[in-house]
Amino acid sequence: MGLSSDFLIGAAQWVRRDVLGRYDSGIWTITIIDLVTAAGFSICIPFLSLYLYQERGLPMTLVGTAFLISGLVSAATQMVGGLLSDRFGRKFLMLIAMGMSMLTYSGMVVLIWIAAPVWAILVEWCTLLVGH
């Protein structure tokens, strides 16, 4: 039992009109960029913890504590970001946050590449979460 072509055409039109057409194309672009960024961010977390533990000799409890602190920083800055977006506008704040994330990711790469002190990597990690 295959699907009829009329059904597929109708489903495609429904998705285009009622799902994708509901929002501006700029919203979908930002959503896709944020999805890719979140996926990359999620992939790097386990490797960062292994790097700090195996290569830099940090105890795993300290690595876990650093991740806990970074989560708390992220939660606090998201609340502040909500207030700022009400005052300055969502678009402006999202552009600033994306730019900060880009610069901070680049800084994180440089810090790991030059084998910077662990505290600098952890500060950069917490700073990275401010943009999320």
pTM of the model: 0.62
- Indicate the pLDDT class of residue 130, thresholds 50, 70 and 90: low
- Indicate the pLDDT class of residue 7, thresholds 50, 70 and 90: low
User: Are residues 124 and 107 in contact, defined by beta-carbon separation less than 8 angstroms?
Assistant: yes
For residues 43-66, average pLDDT: 88
Question: Tens digits of per-residue pLDDT, 83-101?
Answer: 888 888 888 888 888 888 8
Report the half-sphere exposure of 62 (CA within 13 A, side-chain side).
11
> Per-residue pLDDT for 80 more than 70?
yes
> Per-residue pLDDT for 10 more than 80?
no
Q: Name residue 54's amino acid.
A: Q
Question: Tens digits of per-residue pLDDT, 107-118?
Answer: 888 888 888 888
Q: Where are the domains of the chain?
A: 24-131
Q: What average pLDDT does the structure give for the chain?
A: 80
User: Are residues 106 and 42 in contact, defined by beta-carbon separation less than 8 angstroms?
Assistant: no
For residues 66-92, average pLDDT: 85
